[in-house]
Amino acid sequence: MNILRNPDLREKLSAEYVLGTLKGGARRRFESLLSESALLEQCVSEWQDRLYPLSEFSPGISPSPKVWDNIQAKLNLPLQEQRKTPAKSFWNNLYLWRNVGLISTTIATALLIFLVAKPSTEISPQPSYVAMLSDDKAQLAVVLTGNPQTRKLVVKVMASQTIPSDKSLELWAISKDGVPRALGLVAENGTITLPLPENISTKNFTIMAISLEPKGGSPNPNAPTGPILFKGNWAEVST
Protein backbone atom coordinates (compact mmCIF):
# COMPACT_ATOMS: atom_id res chain seq x y z
CA MET A 1 0.00 0.00 0.00
CA ASN A 2 1.34 3.42 -0.98
CA ILE A 3 1.17 5.60 2.11
CA LEU A 4 1.65 8.73 0.02
CA ARG A 5 -1.74 8.05 -1.56
CA ASN A 6 -3.45 7.03 1.66
CA PRO A 7 -3.98 10.04 3.99
CA ASP A 8 -5.18 7.99 6.98
CA LEU A 9 -2.23 5.60 6.81
CA ARG A 10 0.17 8.50 6.25
CA GLU A 11 -1.09 10.24 9.40
CA LYS A 12 -1.01 7.03 11.45
CA LEU A 13 2.56 6.11 10.49
CA SER A 14 3.79 9.69 10.90
CA ALA A 15 2.34 9.82 14.40
CA GLU A 16 3.89 6.46 15.32
CA TYR A 17 7.23 7.62 13.90
CA VAL A 18 7.21 10.74 16.07
CA LEU A 19 6.03 8.78 19.12
CA GLY A 20 8.84 6.28 18.60
CA THR A 21 6.53 3.26 18.40
CA LEU A 22 7.35 2.62 14.73
CA LYS A 23 10.30 0.26 14.91
CA GLY A 24 12.52 -2.13 12.97
CA GLY A 25 12.10 -2.55 9.24
CA ALA A 26 8.91 -0.48 9.19
CA ARG A 27 10.76 2.50 10.64
CA ARG A 28 13.65 2.13 8.20
CA ARG A 29 11.26 1.98 5.23
CA PHE A 30 9.43 5.02 6.54
CA GLU A 31 12.68 6.97 6.93
CA SER A 32 13.64 6.04 3.38
CA LEU A 33 10.35 7.46 2.09
CA LEU A 34 10.71 10.45 4.38
CA SER A 35 13.99 11.45 2.74
CA GLU A 36 12.29 11.46 -0.67
CA SER A 37 8.86 12.94 0.04
CA ALA A 38 8.20 16.55 0.95
CA LEU A 39 4.57 15.62 1.70
CA LEU A 40 5.62 13.01 4.25
CA GLU A 41 8.20 15.37 5.74
CA GLN A 42 5.49 17.98 6.23
CA CYS A 43 3.21 15.42 7.88
CA VAL A 44 5.95 14.38 10.32
CA SER A 45 6.73 18.01 11.08
CA GLU A 46 3.08 18.67 11.91
CA TRP A 47 3.00 15.72 14.30
CA GLN A 48 6.19 16.94 15.96
CA ASP A 49 4.55 20.32 16.52
CA ARG A 50 1.47 18.62 18.01
CA LEU A 51 3.19 16.13 20.29
CA TYR A 52 6.53 17.52 21.41
CA PRO A 53 5.07 20.30 23.61
CA LEU A 54 3.21 17.61 25.58
CA SER A 55 6.49 16.09 26.74
CA GLU A 56 6.80 18.96 29.22
CA PHE A 57 4.10 17.26 31.28
CA SER A 58 5.96 13.96 31.44
CA PRO A 59 7.31 12.90 34.85
CA GLY A 60 10.84 11.59 35.15
CA ILE A 61 11.23 7.83 34.74
CA SER A 62 13.87 5.99 36.73
CA PRO A 63 15.54 2.96 35.16
CA SER A 64 14.75 -0.40 36.70
CA PRO A 65 17.28 -2.07 39.05
CA LYS A 66 17.96 -4.61 36.30
CA VAL A 67 19.44 -1.85 34.14
CA TRP A 68 21.97 -0.99 36.83
CA ASP A 69 22.81 -4.67 37.29
CA ASN A 70 23.54 -4.98 33.56
CA ILE A 71 25.79 -1.92 33.66
CA GLN A 72 27.68 -3.29 36.66
CA ALA A 73 28.12 -6.64 34.93
CA LYS A 74 29.58 -5.04 31.80
CA LEU A 75 31.98 -2.98 33.93
CA ASN A 76 32.96 -6.07 35.95
CA LEU A 77 31.71 -4.45 39.13
CA PRO A 78 30.27 -6.49 42.03
CA LEU A 79 26.62 -7.17 41.37
CA GLN A 80 24.00 -6.45 43.96
CA GLU A 81 22.13 -9.41 45.38
CA GLN A 82 20.15 -10.92 42.55
CA ARG A 83 16.55 -9.90 42.65
CA LYS A 84 13.84 -12.42 42.07
CA THR A 85 10.50 -11.14 40.94
CA PRO A 86 7.69 -13.63 40.41
CA ALA A 87 6.09 -13.54 37.00
CA LYS A 88 2.76 -11.78 36.98
CA SER A 89 -0.14 -11.97 34.60
CA PHE A 90 -1.66 -8.94 32.93
CA TRP A 91 -4.45 -8.87 35.51
CA ASN A 92 -1.94 -8.91 38.38
CA ASN A 93 -0.08 -5.93 36.89
CA LEU A 94 -2.94 -3.45 36.99
CA TYR A 95 -0.95 -1.11 39.22
CA LEU A 96 1.75 -0.91 36.57
CA TRP A 97 -0.74 -0.13 33.83
CA ARG A 98 -2.47 2.50 35.94
CA ASN A 99 0.90 4.24 36.25
CA VAL A 100 2.25 3.80 32.74
CA GLY A 101 3.06 7.52 32.70
CA LEU A 102 1.27 10.78 32.13
CA ILE A 103 2.97 11.41 28.81
CA SER A 104 1.63 8.18 27.31
CA THR A 105 -1.94 9.07 28.18
CA THR A 106 -1.57 12.69 27.13
CA ILE A 107 0.00 11.88 23.76
CA ALA A 108 -2.44 9.05 23.18
CA THR A 109 -5.32 11.43 23.82
CA ALA A 110 -3.95 13.96 21.35
CA LEU A 111 -3.43 11.25 18.75
CA LEU A 112 -6.88 9.79 19.27
CA ILE A 113 -8.65 13.11 19.04
CA PHE A 114 -6.96 13.75 15.72
CA LEU A 115 -7.65 10.27 14.33
CA VAL A 116 -11.34 10.19 15.20
CA ALA A 117 -12.09 13.78 14.26
CA LYS A 118 -13.67 13.62 10.81
CA PRO A 119 -15.55 16.39 9.01
CA SER A 120 -19.27 15.68 9.01
CA THR A 121 -22.42 17.43 7.87
CA GLU A 122 -24.20 16.08 10.96
CA ILE A 123 -23.62 17.38 14.46
CA SER A 124 -22.76 14.48 16.74
CA PRO A 125 -21.67 14.35 20.39
CA GLN A 126 -17.92 14.60 20.85
CA PRO A 127 -16.20 11.68 22.60
CA SER A 128 -15.62 12.23 26.31
CA TYR A 129 -13.19 9.34 26.74
CA VAL A 130 -10.56 7.81 24.50
CA ALA A 131 -8.12 4.89 24.54
CA MET A 132 -5.39 3.70 22.22
CA LEU A 133 -4.89 -0.05 22.29
CA SER A 134 -1.52 -1.42 21.21
CA ASP A 135 -0.04 -4.89 20.84
CA ASP A 136 2.99 -6.22 22.71
CA LYS A 137 5.24 -4.46 20.18
CA ALA A 138 3.64 -1.07 20.92
CA GLN A 139 1.98 -0.95 17.51
CA LEU A 140 -1.33 0.90 17.43
CA ALA A 141 -4.15 -1.54 16.67
CA VAL A 142 -7.47 -0.20 17.94
CA VAL A 143 -8.89 3.23 18.79
CA LEU A 144 -11.76 3.51 21.27
CA THR A 145 -13.95 6.53 21.95
CA GLY A 146 -16.82 6.72 24.40
CA ASN A 147 -19.53 9.12 25.45
CA PRO A 148 -21.40 8.50 28.72
CA GLN A 149 -24.32 10.66 27.57
CA THR A 150 -25.05 8.62 24.46
CA ARG A 151 -24.04 5.38 26.24
CA LYS A 152 -22.08 4.30 23.16
CA LEU A 153 -18.56 3.08 22.61
CA VAL A 154 -17.03 3.38 19.13
CA VAL A 155 -14.38 0.81 18.27
CA LYS A 156 -12.16 1.62 15.28
CA VAL A 157 -9.73 -1.08 14.17
CA MET A 158 -6.67 0.68 12.76
CA ALA A 159 -4.91 -2.48 11.57
CA SER A 160 -7.03 -5.34 10.26
CA GLN A 161 -6.74 -8.54 12.27
CA THR A 162 -6.82 -12.12 11.03
CA ILE A 163 -8.17 -14.59 13.56
CA PRO A 164 -9.17 -18.26 13.29
CA SER A 165 -12.78 -18.98 12.32
CA ASP A 166 -13.43 -20.59 15.71
CA LYS A 167 -12.27 -17.51 17.66
CA SER A 168 -13.66 -14.07 18.51
CA LEU A 169 -12.18 -10.79 19.70
CA GLU A 170 -13.75 -9.54 22.93
CA LEU A 171 -13.45 -6.08 24.50
CA TRP A 172 -12.96 -5.68 28.24
CA ALA A 173 -12.93 -2.69 30.58
CA ILE A 174 -10.90 -2.93 33.78
CA SER A 175 -12.34 -0.73 36.49
CA LYS A 176 -10.60 1.01 39.36
CA ASP A 177 -11.38 -1.93 41.62
CA GLY A 178 -9.48 -4.23 39.24
CA VAL A 179 -12.55 -6.08 38.01
CA PRO A 180 -12.73 -6.85 34.26
CA ARG A 181 -16.10 -6.30 32.58
CA ALA A 182 -17.03 -7.65 29.17
CA LEU A 183 -18.31 -4.98 26.76
CA GLY A 184 -18.90 -7.04 23.62
CA LEU A 185 -17.32 -8.65 20.60
CA VAL A 186 -15.08 -6.65 18.25
CA ALA A 187 -14.83 -7.01 14.47
CA GLU A 188 -11.54 -7.89 12.78
CA ASN A 189 -11.61 -4.64 10.80
CA GLY A 190 -13.60 -1.47 10.27
CA THR A 191 -15.60 0.44 12.86
CA ILE A 192 -18.39 -0.78 15.11
CA THR A 193 -20.47 0.81 17.87
CA LEU A 194 -21.15 -1.03 21.12
CA PRO A 195 -23.83 -0.02 23.64
CA LEU A 196 -22.63 0.64 27.17
CA PRO A 197 -24.66 -1.22 29.81
CA GLU A 198 -26.56 1.11 32.12
CA ASN A 199 -24.91 -0.39 35.20
CA ILE A 200 -21.40 0.48 33.98
CA SER A 201 -19.87 3.92 34.49
CA THR A 202 -17.13 5.02 32.10
CA LYS A 203 -15.63 7.10 34.93
CA ASN A 204 -14.57 3.90 36.65
CA PHE A 205 -12.63 2.53 33.67
CA THR A 206 -8.84 2.60 33.88
CA ILE A 207 -7.69 0.12 31.24
CA MET A 208 -9.24 -1.26 28.06
CA ALA A 209 -8.17 -4.60 26.63
CA ILE A 210 -9.08 -7.01 23.84
CA SER A 211 -8.67 -10.75 24.28
CA LEU A 212 -8.82 -13.70 21.91
CA GLU A 213 -11.71 -15.93 22.96
CA PRO A 214 -13.64 -18.97 21.74
CA LYS A 215 -16.29 -18.22 19.12
CA GLY A 216 -18.97 -16.05 20.68
CA GLY A 217 -16.87 -14.76 23.55
CA SER A 218 -15.40 -15.88 26.85
CA PRO A 219 -17.25 -18.77 28.51
CA ASN A 220 -16.59 -16.94 31.77
CA PRO A 221 -18.63 -13.70 31.78
CA ASN A 222 -16.47 -12.25 34.54
CA ALA A 223 -13.01 -12.61 33.00
CA PRO A 224 -11.22 -13.42 29.74
CA THR A 225 -10.05 -16.97 29.21
CA GLY A 226 -7.79 -16.29 26.22
CA PRO A 227 -4.66 -14.18 25.73
CA ILE A 228 -4.74 -10.38 25.84
CA LEU A 229 -3.86 -9.12 22.36
CA PHE A 230 -4.23 -5.35 22.81
CA LYS A 231 -4.43 -3.01 25.77
CA GLY A 232 -4.25 0.66 26.63
CA ASN A 233 -5.17 3.37 29.13
CA TRP A 234 -8.64 4.92 29.23
CA ALA A 235 -8.39 8.72 29.39
CA GLU A 236 -10.89 11.51 29.78
CA VAL A 237 -10.82 14.21 27.11
CA SER A 238 -10.75 17.76 28.41
CA THR A 239 -12.70 20.17 26.22
Confidence grade of residue 183 (pLDDT, cut at 50, 70, 90): very high
- What pLDDT is recorded for position 182? 92
Q: Which amino acid is at 54?
A: L
Whether residue 110 has pLDDT greater than 70: no
- What pLDDT is recorded for position 175? 84
Are the C-beta atoms of residues 146 and 154 closer than 8 Å to each other? yes
Residues 157-181 pLDDT 10s:
887 788 999 999 999 998 877 888 9
Whether residue 67 has pLDDT greater than 90: no
Q: Determine which of 7-11, 15-19, 83-87, 200-204 has the lowest per-residue pLDDT on average.
A: 83-87
User: Which ranges in the chain are annotated with CATH 2.60.40?
Assistant: 90-236
DSSP assignment, residue 6? -
Q: Which residues of 69-94 are buried (b: 16+ CB within 10 A; e: fewer)?
A: beeeeeeeeeeeeeeeeeeeebbeeb
pLDDT above 70 covers a percentage of the chain that reads 69
- More confidently predicted of 75 and 184: 184
CA atoms within 13 A on the CB side of 131: 28
- More confidently predicted of 143 and 124: 143
Alpha-carbon span 101 to 98, nearest angstrom: 8
- What pLDDT is recorded for position 51? 61
- What pLDDT is recorded for position 102? 43
- pTM score, two decimals? 0.54
Whether residue 135 has pLDDT greater than 60: yes
Residue closest to 204 by CA, chosen among 186, 228, 187, 183: 183
Residue closest to 133 by CA, chosen among 81, 164, 97: 97
- What pLDDT is recorded for position 130? 85
- For the segment 224-236, the average pLDDT, to the nearest whole number, is 89
Q: Determine which of 12-16, 34-38, 178-182, 215-219 has the lowest per-residue pLDDT on average.
A: 12-16
CATH top-level class of 90-236: mainly beta
